[in-house]
Amino acid sequence: MKWPEPSPGQIYFVGAGPGDPGLITLKGAHYLQGADVVLYDDLLDQRLLGLAPSTCQKIYVGKRGGRQSPSQEEINQLLIQHALRDRVVVRLKGGDPFVFGRGGEEAMALKDEGIAFEIVSGVTAAAGVPAYAGIPLTHRGKAAAAVLVTAQEDPTRNTPNIDWEKLAQMDCTLVIFMGSRKLAQLSATLKDHGRAADTPVALIEWGTWPHQRTVVTTLEHTADAAAREDIQSPTLIVVGEVVHLRQQLNWFEKKPLFGRRVLITRSREQAGDLQVLLEAQGAQVVPLPLLQLKAPEDSTELDRSIAELASFKWVVFTSPNSVDFFFSRLRHLGRDARAFGSAAVAALGLATAAGLRSRGLYPDLIPSEQSQEGLVKAFAELPVENSKILLPTSSIGRALLAAHLEKRGAIVHRITAYQNLPPTPEEIKLPPALTENRLDLAIFASPSSVDHFRALLGPESTQKILADTIIACIGPTTAQAIQALGLQTHIQPQDSSIPALIRAICAYFGEQKP
């Protein structure tokens, strides 16, 4: 589906959903992609801001209790100022803009100034959060109605906005926003006005996020349960018989990796797909980008090899990255897969082979053992004497295959297709889960990520952290790098691919007792 491009000078109120970035609407994502300015709230997954253009101005205007934050009037004025500058402005709000998000107040301020706006509804926390906890708001025989209510009343009113006596006596599901600091008062008020003390209550902390936590109790014991479990904001409170259905419908917290903190060490460019797959299985991902992949500073040798590409008997790709950077340079020079001519192509690993196929090249050789040792064995059965063989690799790629082929009389051109650089300590911030040793799993997808991890943290900290952490490696070469540190690889898929790695991780933790 397509929507019109956003109009300059107009404000788009976009609901971001309650946390899971996948809950933003298609229309909301479309407007974000065309934004000149985004004013965004607290409690948003920062990856949503990545949908906006790199030139977009991103302004944080979030409000959290106990923190200094801009006033509502200041936010209104920012919206007006940017709209009057004829810019496309997206006001990105958590949940739905018109459900306890003060979106109505901001829209009224724009209306008074004659500024056009559009509301793009989002998944409200009232619906999304209970759903991720396995709790339907309505259910035949249990609740025919649901009432949304805030525990934060307008402080300027002498009389309460909410008639708690009537609410307590209604046969409905109550969904209470912003009430984690008033649990004792809320439960006492509802009981005093007639709600049964044994009414089930669910306290859902960080709903729809990978670190979601749900505590089920009763109205009588709500405050004690919250104190015992140290429930903090943001927490949504659900009161009613539908809470019992969680026993049958709790799907999100039953995922194989739910609650597991998983360290991924890929580059920022590569981490996205892996993070999405892990989160789809319930993992709480802790990114630590240990690789910086860049084109060579001098591409003269690479360009020369591409110009002579058809003269090679074999072109050997040892990683998906080598495919990506090689073909990027090929396109830059105005060439495509036809430049290979009669050259045969070898691919190390299923992901490398898939990258070649997506560009119109079907590998002539894929070793069954997905390592350079496997390539050596595969080429041992082929004549290579006096054959020109091109090896586009990383700046720190292993030389095992090149040495073997040269020993057999091949003319090997080993060129740098991309640089594999470590981050400096100044460029990277170590996540608390790592420094506090609260990881369940560490994933390494290349030997260089292992080397960079050790260089960044130092030998002593590396041993201390990884010795107490489950380690997953994508293939045998990476596992050898872990073994060289005196550590054990616990998870290694048969096929060196990200999907196979995810399946192996899920199978491993599925066998572990909680």
Residues annotated as catalytic are 41, 63
Question: Is-cis flag, bond preceding 289, omega within 30?
Answer: no
Instruction: Report the C-alpha gap between 18 and 207 in whole angstroms.
Output: 7
Q: Are 295 and 435 in contact (CB under 8 A)?
A: no
Contact call for residues 444 and 491 (beta carbons, < 8 A): no
The separation between CA 173 and the C-alpha centre of its own chain, rounded to angstroms, equals 32
By C-alpha distance, which of 305, 327, 466 is closest to 388? 305
> Rounded to the nearest 10 degrees, what angle do helices 459-467 and 447-457 cross at?
120
Hey, is 100 helix, strand or coil? coil
Closest CA to 52 of 39, 70, 68, 33: 33
Q: Can you give 112-143 as a three-state secondary structure string?
A: HCCCCEEEECCCCHHHHHHHHCCCCCCECCCE
The token pair at 457 is: 């943290």
* Under 8 Å between Cβ of 245 and 136: yes
H helices present in 338-398, as ranges:
350-357, 372-379
Instruction: Single out the residue of 317, 507, 314 nearest to residue 405, CA to CA.
Output: 314
Q: Evaluate whether 498 touches 273 at the Cβ level (below 8 Å).
A: yes
